[in-house]
Structure 1
Amino acid sequence: MYANDMYKVAVIGCNSFTGGYVVDELLAAGEYQVLGIDREEKGRLFLPYVQNDLRRFRFAQMDVNKDMADLLALLQSEQPDYVMNLAALSEVAPSWEHPEQWMQTNVVALTILVDGLRHLPVLKKFVQISTPEVYGSVAGRVQEDAALKPSTPYAVSKAAFDLLLLAFVKQYAFPAVLMRAANVYGAHQQLFKIVPRTIIYEKLGRKLPLHGGGKATRAFIHGRDVARAYVAALTLGKVGEAYHVAPETTVTIRELVQRICDLVGEDISAVVEDTPARPGHDAVYSLDASKAKRDLRWQPEVTLSAGLAEVIAWVDTNWAEIREESLEYVHRA
């Protein structure tokens, strides 16, 4: 049952990896009623928030492509103060195989969503979870005003909706804020992602393919740190602005895998094999997060070493269940 004196937040994509951390952060704050919306239900293995007090949480199973009329009717009925959208098709490589599906979900469906949301009289903020992939391959420290040069269908779809939102801000004073986070990791992540996949492959004695030899540079940030920034953006984010959520340091994928190998006491040569680079994967990501630190009063708190150790412990604790799960990405339109 919702309390009447709390702000109401609708989290679309609440059962995505980062969405689970966002809901957990909102519930832990103690001042929000949370309406979680997602196309699928998940269990405790992949959702940190299910261990929280759920009396201020309500879940609605809806798909942005199939149930948009019902979703908008629900939001009209609930009248949330804030809406955060994490719903998206988010994998890069498969977007080359079905680009029209990425455009449908990430552009067309979400355009219908915000065109409906702009008529909600109580809406204070719409926080859209974008991606740094919209910048393409860039050198140096990237700030939020960098040119958008997407190089994959996924990145193009995200950039297109970002631009649509900024047009809505200008035309309708729509209260949108854009968030672009570095590579998010942590316990409860999809098992095909690089951090849990490396740990699992090591435990299974399998060789992990390192695309391009693992030379790509990325910044990895823990899901809890990302969730804190996203929640701060609800109240502190400035309309029409984009914010980076990233640590100060970057690592190559090979260096990341080496850190995991060091933590589990395994030689990297026993864990990886080099494979060709995948098409359209950008070589460099280095995000300047100073604006988020200033405007959102945010700082990352979880070190990479501590975060990796946490994921290792999560895999070890849930190994009986994890080893029965698929380790591959399964595409759903």
Structure 2
Amino acid sequence: MTISGRTAAPLTPISPTEAGNGLRRRFFEDYGIWNEAPVLIGTTKFEPRADVKNIMITGGAGFIACWLVRHLTLTYPHAYNIISFDKLDYCSSLNNTRILNDRRNFTFYQGDVTNPSEVVDCLERHNIDTVIHFAAQSHVDLSFGNSYGFTHTNVYGTHVLLESAKKVGIRRFIHVSTDEVYGEVKDGDDDLLESSILAPTNPYAASKAAAEMLVHSYQKSFKLPAIIVRSNNVYGPHQYPEKIIPKFTCLLARHKPVVLHGDGSPTRRYLYAGDAADAFDTILHRGQPGQIYNVGSHDEVSNLALCKKLLAVMDIPHQSPDEFGRWVKYTHDRPFNDHRYAVDATKLKGLGWEQKTGLEEGLRVTVEWYRLFGERWWGDITKVLSPFPVVAGMEVLSDSEPVSDHPQVGDGGRKGKGAKQGNGEREADGLGCRE
């Protein structure tokens, strides 16, 4: 993890209206909250590849992708031109890359991966030789209520990108997938290798598995030099607060309780975003076409235990049952919630990558960033902080699900209570709303 050369200035509160208006500011603004934040990138640096010059990163204004956009732009200023391609949906922000606006090797292109003319125009206009494809709909909860949108963006959008890459002769295509394509891993089972079968259990994971099949087919049929990357959960600064760590941090900072789905027992492995940026930098420079690489963390924690860690980092008393009950509530679970995922990253480690930031340190940095910037980075985030927010087009709507003081068990959530759709289907996008 590297925090390069900037110090956060003191912040002054602004109203939700002012924050919302901030989303509509022009791209090349001279000052804003983005100018107060530290510039966060990874730690790796390799000898630049001679066959790579112009890199298109889809979903570049989203979470994980923006870390790689900043990292590659600032680490290889004379070697690579970085083109950030993003539609700018609700979960992405130009604040994530505004600090690069004056860099000669950075360009932003507003476009949708499901629009062939925009994709081809970007590829041809910038003479792209390398594509790193992050753009996706990724919030699993939403996929239960609007699965068509996930298929359109994640499958059709990937198909458009592959066909366009074939047309212009891309030399390197890195497809970003997820560990969820493997499906649920039971307690005590071995970590899964890249050769393990795919058995997705939710619409989001199924759409990512389908996208992988398209990548594989273009690799075989058209000799597209492709690499597939399957990562576990990534967290850190710049993540839209629909995901558990930033959402719970923002709620606790507002002195409001967090709400767990079900009983809080599912576990996840968490990787700090700086380590994820290092992984993709490593794969770009040392990964081999035709290969699949798992990106795995050694930090596995249940949702319930994660709450306790966040309370500790934020110095909130929670040792007694009454104290803990003040800050942690419960609601019904997803229609289906995998108990855990577990992947083996030995193959990637063989390329020289390693996890450098443990969960305790990563949470400390992340909590501090959200305390300073989280409430102003995306505008008013009140509605997204509800347990099951609904997205209709570009608007996030809060839910009105019942909340309890006690863990929710049984199959109440599995009967579809969480599969809400709202008044309008979420629009398909070409974004980086990645976990």
* 1:142 pairs with 2:198: no
Stretch deviating more after TM superposition (150-159 or 34-43) = 34-43
Q: Is 1:201 aligned to 2:201, yes or no?
A: no
Alignment of 1:71 with 2:119, yes or no, is yes
Match among 309, 312, 320 for residue 367 of structure 2? 312
CA displacement 1:251-292 (0-9 Å, x = unmatched): 111111111111112114322112232122211111111111
The 8 Å contact of residues 375 and 381 in structure 2, kept in 1 or not, is answered as: no
What's 1:129 paired with?
Answer: 176
Tell me the C-alpha RMSD between the 2 structures: 2.0
Correspondence for 1:301: 356
CA–CA separation in structure 1 for the residues paired with 2:165 and 2:331: 45
Matches of 1:331 and 1:218 in 2, distance apart? Answer: 28
Question: How far, CA to CA, are the matches of 1:225 and 1:106 in structure 2?
Answer: 24
Q: Distance in 2 between matches of 1:88 and 1:290?
A: 26
Residue in 2 that maps onto 1:27: 73
| Paired residues of 2:116 and 2:164 also in contact (CA < 8 A) | no
2:217 is equivalent to residue 167 of structure 1: yes
Conservation of the 8 A alpha-carbon contact between 1:210 and 1:254: yes
Q: Secondary structure at the match of 1:177?
A: strand
CA contact (8 A) 2:183 2:200 kept: yes
Separation (CA, whole Å) in 1 of partners of 2:334 and 2:51: 50
Match for residue 234 of structure 1? 284
Which of the two has higher C-alpha Rg? 2
Q: Could you tell me the TM-score, scaled by structure 1's length?
A: 0.91
Of 196-205 and 302-311, more deviation after overlay is shown by 196-205
CA distance in 1, matches of 2:328, 2:194: 35
Q: Which runs of 5+ in 1 are unaligned?
A: none
SS of the equivalent of 1:22 reads helix
Query: Identity of paired residues, percent?
Result: 28
- Tell me the matched-pair count: 324
User: Match of 1:54?
Assistant: 103
Counterparts of 2:94 and 2:134, CA distance in 1: 19
Determine if the alignment matches structure 1 residue 248 to structure 2 residue 317. no
Kindly indicate which of the two structures has a greater share of residues assigned to helix.
1
Aligned-partner residue type, residue 105 of structure 2: R
The superposition leaves residues 216-251 of structure 1 with CA deviations (integer Å, 9 ceiling, x where unpaired) of: 110000111111111221232122221111212311
In structure 2, the partner of 1:263 is 313
Deviations 1:49-101 (A, max 9, x none): 43346221001101122x32122122023222210111111111211212111
**Residue 185 (structure 1) aligns with:** 235
Query: 1:147-188: CA deviations, max 9, x gaps?
Result: 111111111111011011112111121111111111110011
How many angstroms does 1:16 deviate by? 1.0
Does residue 156 (structure 1) correspond to residue 234 (structure 2)? The answer is no
CA distance in 1, matches of 2:291, 2:392: 32
- Quote the Cα distance in structure 2 between the aligned partners of 1:5 and 1:285: 35
How far residue 327 of structure 1 moved from its aligned partner, in angstroms, is 4.7
Matched, 1:109 2:164: no
**1:11, 1:36 within 8 Å by CA — same for their partners in 2?**
yes
In the alignment, structure 1 residue 272 sits paired with structure 2 residue 328: yes
Contact 1:126-1:234 within 8 A present in 2 as well: no
Superposition misfits of 4+ residues, deviation over 6 angstroms: none
Kept in 1: contact 2:178–2:208 (CA 8 A): yes
CA contact (8 A) 2:52 2:130 kept: no
Residue 320 to residue 17, structure 1, CA distance change in 2 (3 Å): closer
> Is contact 2:266-2:303 (8 Å) kept?
yes
Q: Secondary structure at the match of 2:285?
A: helix
Which ranges in structure 2 are unaligned for 5 or more consecutive residues? 1-49, 319-323, 394-426, 428-435
Aligned to 1:284: 340
The answer (yes or no) to whether the contact 1:8–1:33 under 8 Å persists in 2 is yes
Instruction: State whether residues 179 and 232 of structure 2, in contact with CA within 8 Å, keep that contact through their aligned partners in structure 1.
Output: yes
| 2:56 maps to 1:10 | yes
Aligned residue type for 1:79: N
The amino acid of 1:29's aligned partner reads T
Preserved CA contact (<8 Å) 1:191 1:327 = no
Give 1:125 shift. 1.1
Provide closer, same or farther for how the CA distance between residues 114 and 144 of structure 1 changes in structure 2, counting only shifts above 3 A: same
Q: Contact 2:113–2:160 (CA<8 Å) still a contact in 1?
A: no
Structure-2-length-normalised TM-score: 0.71
> In 2, distance between residues paired with 1:156 and 1:19?
21
Aligned partners of 2:182 and 2:199 also within 8 Å: yes
Q: Match of 2:313, SS? A: helix
